[in-house]
Amino acid sequence: EAGVVQSPRYKIIEKKQPVAFWCNPISGHNTLYWYLQNLGQGPELLIRYENEEAVDDSQLPKDRFSAERLKGVDSTLKIQPAELGDSAVYLCASSQYGTSVTGELFFGEGSRLTVL
Amino acid sequence: GENVEQHPSTLSVQEGDSAVIKCTYSDSASNYFPWYKQELGKRPQLIIDIRSNVGEKKDQRIAVTLNKTAKHFSLHITETQPEDSAVYFCAASKGYSTLTFGKGTMLLVSP
């Protein structure tokens, strides 16, 4: 079975440009997460979806970041406009019922963004 | 919200030695504590987890202990091997809330 798939793996853009990341979770996983991972740091939650509903987006910088999960399957995370400080790895993860029931988050390989 | 502190930030051991990584959490209601391993350039993967109704869990060379009173939990790796070299993250959550991760510990096992 395929794991969590993310694209692109790498993206280099100039500041003020837009960028979008795509994630396809494991089939049947209703919970999807976008995490931000800065170099040498742990993952930090940006947004969590239960099916198509965003249930935790308190850490998402809504002035420039947006996300959607149409039909409760794959998801897109967008940044517009990108800033130098947005350079990081954007990790997507999925789980079947949320961490409380099954425990395990399955992560994708991540999308590494470099803003010049 | 939850705050998870992790120590040390780096840990170097000789092959065959034991390694211990410690985490503290702030929310006494947290009840789920997983550990993830992230090899260089790869995705984080769950290696072991523990829930608040148990004090210790073991899986071959790795074990996790939980002290709810002190609000800390630890990862123990025995008989370390070079392939154990990676960054290890602890995390905590309560109920159906999202995991909060520590900042990670880079473990280097020298042959």
Cβ distance A107 to B99 less than 8 Å, yes or no, reads no
Q: Average pLDDT, whole number, for chain A?
A: 91
Which structure tokens are listed for B8? Answer: 């040390």
Q: pLDDT exceeding 70 applies to what percent of chain A?
A: 93
Chain A residues near residue B40 by CB distance under 8 angstroms: none
Helix (H, G, I), strand (E, B) or coil at A70: helix
Q: How far apart are CA B101 and CA A33, in angstroms?
A: 13
Q: What is the pLDDT of residues A17-47, one digit of tens each?
A: 999 999 999 998 889 999 999 988 999 999 9
Query: Rounded to a whole number, what is the distance in Å from the CA of A57 to chain B's nearest CA?
Result: 11
Average pLDDT on A91-100 reads 78
What's the pLDDT score for residue B54? 80
- pLDDT score, position B65: 96
Does residue A6 carry a pLDDT above 80?
A: yes
Name A41's Cβ contacts closer than 8 Å, sequence gap at least 6.
B103, B104
User: What value does the mean pLDDT take over residues B15-23?
Assistant: 98
Residue A25: closest CA among A52, A46, A45: A52
B/e letters for A4-34, b = 16+ CB within 10 Å, e = fewer, are bebeeeebebeeeeebebbbbbbeebbbbbb
For residue A64, the model assigns a pLDDT of 96
Q: Are the beta carbons of A49 and A32 closer than 8 angstroms?
A: yes
What is the number of CB-based contacts under 8 A between chain A and chain B?
60
